[in-house]
């Protein structure tokens, strides 16, 4: 190691991101994590010139510049973080020092205020792991609920706040006691008329909306104690009622954009920030001049103007909000149109610039922020410097996948849905939203797509879709979409079937004896699990069965056998999401499908461990 050599982080920058800024002599440089090519781009922010690239040992999700200048990168597909060191010349590649194991799928990074501890969230591994920054030795690990993503640390360094993609929650981790406290960041909407029903008082009712798409967090620096969580508030409808599409239907949009403002001390959201107002009850498609941010992916604060910036996939926009407002969603200042796929952004407080990385179009954008008075006057976004960064050689097949990726994330496209939803709205990262939706056929829990489409036909809970294309056509119909052109359909299917699942070989199956014992139980004649969930058939028998699971609103009684690939990370379970945990399913569903209730606790532990390894 050569401490003191090379670039250093900007003052106070302790949260990781797809873009991280640093000072190299008199230059401000941007490190950009390129997930497609598996490298880091180094860019001069003032000129937009690409200075160099550094090849990594895996797919980067976030990176962070430590206090001594070392660059830490989360390698999402390798269950590891890579530590690199800059050269004195920023155009030279970063030198790799080591890789450090993490739980499966590390996604976000942050350091404590004393710069002594690095915290890493792992999405599929559902954990927060702490490392000593000096030695990169593991200090401790705290289990988290499903799909954690971005994190920020309190001013006193005692708590970590973690966003979750699903579950309508934020996690607060007491770093001293190693305990997790849940924060409900769901919302409430009053005055809703659902399915023409008339409530007891005034013809309306109040509904609870579930929070999803919790990919990003930002922490205020000028206004201390405020944590911003861009998200989407969802009304999936009532499980006991049928609907016309997916959700409650009518004039009530199933998904609305939100920015929850959580107080660091009370650990609760400001009620105003999660209260859905009547003026959002309108269509959110392309006809609207201000399309909603239904796929937020990154957030950053500009302390000088007290602005919150949020990057939005699908509409390819960065929205600037008033960070001092009780409800930032209703205090929009400006919009910055950017290239497709804005996944990373950072604010350069010294140069008064916004730096945005658009992964889909592989473009870096640098926008001057202007003076505070211009921001408050809501002057239109200034001219943006757009820089196409270097890339590896591409093929025609890659071009189809890139088109499919854009379509998968196309919110506000009325060819896909008439209410603004994209494929990624219900399938973030190609997985599931952990919700059960009201549909014309009854309640339907969203299935995971990534790693589950190949060799698992037919599709849909009733098994009517004999191909991905057939099931896609039915889905578009229920969403009210006008439909895509032939090439676009092919590209969307190509992307959906190529979605990368968590890396199976990197899973934390340390207790092989327990897993092998569970495998024997799973395939035994006494339990009968392997009768329908056949390993040679991608963990399904491709057949619909009546397992006495019909809910009151269901039209049919038979349901397709779902694949068990990645079943351990896709709670809740059954077509209507009735089982919150895998254990509750194994115990309660006895006799309806297999026989597991009679098993001793040790055998249930082994069976569950095996199923989580699939």
Provide, rounded to the nearest whole percent, the portion of the chain with pLDDT above 90: 67
Residue 83, SS3 per DSSP: strand
Determine the Cα–Cα distance for residues 251 and 412; give it in Å rounded to an integer. Answer: 16
Lowest-confidence region among 87-96, 181-190, 241-250, 401-410: 241-250
Q: Please indicate, yes or no, if residue 497 is contained in any of the structural domains.
A: no
Mean pLDDT, residues 29-40 taken together:
96
Q: Please indicate, yes or no, if residue 554 is contained in any of the structural domains.
A: yes
Q: Please indicate, yes or no, if residue 21 is contained in any of the structural domains.
A: no
Q: Is the Cβ–Cβ distance between 99 and 91 less than 8 Å?
A: no
Residue scoring higher pLDDT (371 or 503):
503
124 phi and psi angles, rounded to 5 deg: -70, -30
Give the Cβ contact number of residue 553 at 10 Å: 19
Helix axes 486-498, 396-408, angle to 10 degrees: 90
Mean pLDDT, residues 298-303 taken together:
96
199 falls in which pLDDT band (50, 70, 90)?
A: very low
| 485: CB partners within 8 A, 6+ apart | none
| 383: CB partners within 8 A, 6+ apart | 368
Determine the Cα–Cα distance for residues 563 and 550; give it in Å rounded to an integer. Answer: 19
Q: Is the Cβ–Cβ distance between 175 and 130 less than 8 Å?
A: yes
Token pair of 400 as six digits: 């189809």
Query: How many residues would you count in the chain?
Result: 614
Give the CA-trace dihedral at 418, 412, 374, 218, to 10 degrees: 110
Mean pLDDT, the chain, whole residue set: 89
Give the Cβ contact number of residue 602 at 10 Å: 10
Q: Please indicate, yes or no, if residue 516 is contained in any of the structural domains.
A: yes
Lowest-confidence region among 198-207, 287-296, 479-488, 564-573: 198-207
Residue 91, SS3 per DSSP: coil
Q: What is the model's pLDDT at position 202? A: 44
Residue scoring higher pLDDT (392 or 94):
94
Q: Please indicate, yes or no, if residue 613 is contained in any of the structural domains.
A: yes
- Given a cut of 60, whether residue 100 has pLDDT beyond it is yes
Enclosing domain of residue 535? 509-614
| 473: CB partners within 8 A, 6+ apart | 483
According to DSSP, the β-strands at 117-122 and 60-65 are unpaired
Determine the Cα–Cα distance for residues 520 and 290; give it in Å rounded to an integer. Answer: 56
Determine the Cα–Cα distance for residues 109 and 123; give it in Å rounded to an integer. Answer: 12
Q: Please indicate, yes or no, if residue 474 is contained in any of the structural domains.
A: no
221 falls in which pLDDT band (50, 70, 90)?
A: confident
> In terms of Cα–Cα distance, which of 177, 141, 184, 144 is closest to 159?
177
174 falls in which pLDDT band (50, 70, 90)?
A: very high
According to DSSP, the β-strands at 187-192 and 275-276 are parallel
Q: What is the model's pLDDT at position 395? A: 67
Strands (DSSP E) contained in 418-577 are 436-439, 442-445, 544-545, 559-560
- Burial pattern 416-438, b for ≥16 Cβ within 10 A else e, equals bbbbbbbbbbbbbbbbbbbbbbb
Q: Is the Cβ–Cβ distance between 606 and 511 less than 8 Å?
A: no
- Tell me the CA distances in angstroms from 94 to 22, 205, 528, one per residue in order: 13, 58, 54
The pTM for the full model equals: 0.93
Residue scoring higher pLDDT (251 or 13):
13
354 phi and psi angles, rounded to 5 deg: -110, 130
Q: What is the model's pLDDT at position 372? A: 54
Q: What is the model's pLDDT at position 574? A: 92
Give the total number of structural domains in the chain. 1
Residue scoring higher pLDDT (479 or 283):
479
- Given a cut of 90, whether residue 227 has pLDDT beyond it is yes
Q: Across the chain, which distance is largest between two alpha carbons, in Å?
A: 74
Q: What is the CATH number of the domain that holds 525?
A: 1.10.760.10
Lowest-confidence region among 82-86, 121-125, 239-243: 239-243
Residue-wise pLDDT for 511-540, tens only, equals 688 999 999 999 998 888 988 999 888 899
Mean pLDDT, residues 93-108 taken together:
96
Determine the Cα–Cα distance for residues 168 and 214; give it in Å rounded to an integer. Answer: 8
Residue 513, SS3 per DSSP: helix
Q: Please indicate, yes or no, if residue 371 is contained in any of the structural domains.
A: no
Strands (DSSP E) contained in 422-507 are 436-439, 442-445
Please give the span between the terminal C-alpha atoms of the chain, in angstroms, as a whole number: 41
Determine the Cα–Cα distance for residues 339 and 358; give it in Å rounded to an integer. Answer: 6
288 falls in which pLDDT band (50, 70, 90)?
A: very low
> In terms of Cα–Cα distance, which of 48, 39, 76, 49 is closest to 61?
76
Following DSSP, what letter does each residue of 314-373 receive, concatenated? TTTEEEEEETTSSSGGG-EEEEEE--S-EEEEEEETTTTEEEEEETTTTEEEEEE---HH
Residue-wise pLDDT for 436-492, tens only, equals 999 999 999 999 999 998 888 898 888 888 888 988 988 998 888 999 999 999 999
Q: What is the model's pLDDT at position 416? A: 93
> In terms of Cα–Cα distance, which of 88, 120, 119 is closest to 105?
120
Q: What is the model's pLDDT at position 115? A: 95
> In terms of Cα–Cα distance, which of 351, 350, 345, 352 is closest to 373?
352
Q: Please indicate, yes or no, if residue 571 is contained in any of the structural domains.
A: yes
| Half-sphere CA count of 7, side-chain side, radius 13 A | 28
Give the Cβ contact number of residue 563 at 10 Å: 22
Q: What is the model's pLDDT at position 193? A: 59
Q: What is the model's pLDDT at position 287? A: 39
- Tell me the CA distances in angstroms from 191 to 269, 398, 419, one per residue in order: 21, 48, 20
Residue 193, SS3 per DSSP: coil
Token pair of 521 as six digits: 């139980």
Residue-wise pLDDT for 396-421, tens only, equals 668 889 999 999 999 989 999 989 99
Residue-wise pLDDT for 333-390, tens only, equals 999 999 999 999 999 999 999 999 999 999 999 999 975 554 544 545 568 999 999 8
- Given a cut of 90, whether residue 34 has pLDDT beyond it is yes
According to DSSP, the β-strands at 363-368 and 385-388 are antiparallel
- Name residue, tokens 């407002």: 325
- Given a cut of 80, whether residue 201 has pLDDT beyond it is no
């Amino acid at each position: 190691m050569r401490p003191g050599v090379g670039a250093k982080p900007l003052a106070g920058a302790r949260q990781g991101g797809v873009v991280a800024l640093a000072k190299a002599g008199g230059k401000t440089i941007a490190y950009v994590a390129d997930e497609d090519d598996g490298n880091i781009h180094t860019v001069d922010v003032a000129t937009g010139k690409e200075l160099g690239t550094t090849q990594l040992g895996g797919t980067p999700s976030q990176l962070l510049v430590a206090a001594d200048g070392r660059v830490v990168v989360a390698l999402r597909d390798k269950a590891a973080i890579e530590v690199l060191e800059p050269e004195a010349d920023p155009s030279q590649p970063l030198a790799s020092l080591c890789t450090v194991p993490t739980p499966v799928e590390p996604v976000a990074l942050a350091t404590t205020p004393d710069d002594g501890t690095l915290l890493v969230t792992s999405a599929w591994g559902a954990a927060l792991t702490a490392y000593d920054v000096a030695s990169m030795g593991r200090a401790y690990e705290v289990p988290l609920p499903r799909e954690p993503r971005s994190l920020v640390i309190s001013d006193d360094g005692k708590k970590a706040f973690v966003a979750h993609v699903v579950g309508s929650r934020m996690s607060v981790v007491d770093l001293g006691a190693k305990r997790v406290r849940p924060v409900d960041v769901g919302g409430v909407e009053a005055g809703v008329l659902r399915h023409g029903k008339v409530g007891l008082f005034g013809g309306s009712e109040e509904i609870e909306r579930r929070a999803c798409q919790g990919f990003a967090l930002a922490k205020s620096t000028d206004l201390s104690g405020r944590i911003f969580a861009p998200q989407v508030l969802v009304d999936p409808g009532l499980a006991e009622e049928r609907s016309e599409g997916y959700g409650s239907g009518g004039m009530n949009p199933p998904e609305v954009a939100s920015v929850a403002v959580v107080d660091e001390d009370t650990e609760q959201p400001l009620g105003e920030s999660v209260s859905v107002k009547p003026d959002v009850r309108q269509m959110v498609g392309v006809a609207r001049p201000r399309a909603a941010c239904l796929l937020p992916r990154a957030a950053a604060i500009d302390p000088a103007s007290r602005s919150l910036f949020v990057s939005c996939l699908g509409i390819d926009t960065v929205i600037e909000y008033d960070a001092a407002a009780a409800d930032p969603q209703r205090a929009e200042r400006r919009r910055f149109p950017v290239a497709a796929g804005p996944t990373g952004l950072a604010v350069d407080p010294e140069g008064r610039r916004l730096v945005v990385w658009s992964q889909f179009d592989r473009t870096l954008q640098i926008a001057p922020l202007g003076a505070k008075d211009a921001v408050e006057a809501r002057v239109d976004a200034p001219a943006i410097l757009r820089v196409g960064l270097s890339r590896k050689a591409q093929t025609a097949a890659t071009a189809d996948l890139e088109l499919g990726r854009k379509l998968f994330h196309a919110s506000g496209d009325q060819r896909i849905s008439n209410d603004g939803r994209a494929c990624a709205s219900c399938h973030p990262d190609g997985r599931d939203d952990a919700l059960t939706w009201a549909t014309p056929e009854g309640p339907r829990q969203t299935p995971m797509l990534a790693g589950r489409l190949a060799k698992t036909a037919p599709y849909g809970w009733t098994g009517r879709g004999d191909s991905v294309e057939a099931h896609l056509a039915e889905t578009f119909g229920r969403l009210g979409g006008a439909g895509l052109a032939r090439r676009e359909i092919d590209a969307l299917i190509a992307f959906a079937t190529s979605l990368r699942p968590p890396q199976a070989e990197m899973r934390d199956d340390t207790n092989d004896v327990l897993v092998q014992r569970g495998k024997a139980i799973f395939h035994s004649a006494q339990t009968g699990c392997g009768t329908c969930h056949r390993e040679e058939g991608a963990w399904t028998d491709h057949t619909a069965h009546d397992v006495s699971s019909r809910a009151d609103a269901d039209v049919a009684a038979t349901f397709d056998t779902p694949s068990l690939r990645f079943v351990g990370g896709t709670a809740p379970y059954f077509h209507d999401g009735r089982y919150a945990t895998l254990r509750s399913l194994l115990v309660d569903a006895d006799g309806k499908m297999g026989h597991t209730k009679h098993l001793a606790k040790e055998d249930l532990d082994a069976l569950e461990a095996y199923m989580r390894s699939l």
